[in-house]
Every structure is written in C-alpha cells, then in structure tokens.
Amino acid sequence: MIGGRLFCFLLAMQIVSLVSAVRKPFLPAQEQTLQSPPPDNIESKKGIEGTSETMKEAYDGGVSKIGSSPPSCEHKCYGCVPCEAIQVPSTSTRRSHLGIQYANYEPESWKCKCGLSFYSP
C-alpha cells in the first residue's frame, strides 16, 4: 500500500514538473530583438561627445574594449602576401577533468594566415 502511494505521489510530482516546464513563457520575437545592437542613427553617431571626462579618457585608453585585438602580421608570413590576422579555435590535446561542463566555451587565438599556411604572430 505504501509503495502504491509513493508511486502515485512521484507520478503526480513528475506531471506537475513537466507541466510547469512546458508552460514557461518564451519571449516574443519583438522582445528578442532588444538584445541586438541598436540601428545606426544620428544620435548614435555622436560618439562620446556627451560623456564625462573620465569616460573619454577610458575610451581613448582602450579600457572599454572587450576581447583581444588582432596582432600585426607585417613580416610574419615570410614574404607571402597578403598576410592577414585571423582568429582560430585553440585546440588542446590535454583532456580537461571538467568534462562537458564548459562545452560552449571555445577559446580562440590569433594567427597570421597567407594562402593555406598559418604563422604565429
């Protein structure tokens, strides 16, 4: 009898969790576009004119930049032209003990590329 009640209780809990998972609201298409960058307009072209002096200094100093900048590939491709900087995925032969926990994290590095050849910057 206790086993039957436990089964019914677990079944009811499973149904409730499935119903609540299915009924979670999704963002409408209009709200999802709010995360994309705003379109260019006259106000966005003003730049940093209306900001404070410290913000201008931080902007000029490159503090507000996110990520790395491309390296200079000048004279890195041993005479091959055009030699350009590209981002390539970093591959590691060492297996991480974290497993698939960080499966969406894909580190990238900069390389210089000319034709089909890659060079270290």
**Alpha carbon of 107 to those of 69, 88, 104: distances in Å?**
15, 9, 10
Average pLDDT, the chain: 71
Q: Is the dihedral of CA 80, 85, 87, 89 positive or negative?
A: positive
DSSP string, 86-118: EEEE---SSPPTTGGGGTT---EEEEEEETTEE
Q: Please state whether beta strands 117-119 and 84-89 pair in parallel, antiparallel, or not at all (unpaired).
A: unpaired
pLDDT, one tens digit per residue, over 37-92 is 555 555 544 554 555 666 666 556 555 566 788 889 988 898 898 999 999 887 76
| CA-closest candidate to residue 73, choices 13, 103, 113, 44 | 113
> Please, are residues 75 and 39 in contact by the beta-carbon 8 Å criterion?
no
Which has the higher per-residue pLDDT, 78 or 17?
78
CA dihedral over 89, 93, 94, 100, signed as positive or negative: positive
What per-residue confidence (pLDDT) applies to 89? 85
34 pLDDT higher than 90? no
pLDDT over 50 (residue 16): yes
pTM of this structure: 0.39
φ, ψ at 38 (rounded to 5°) = -70, 150
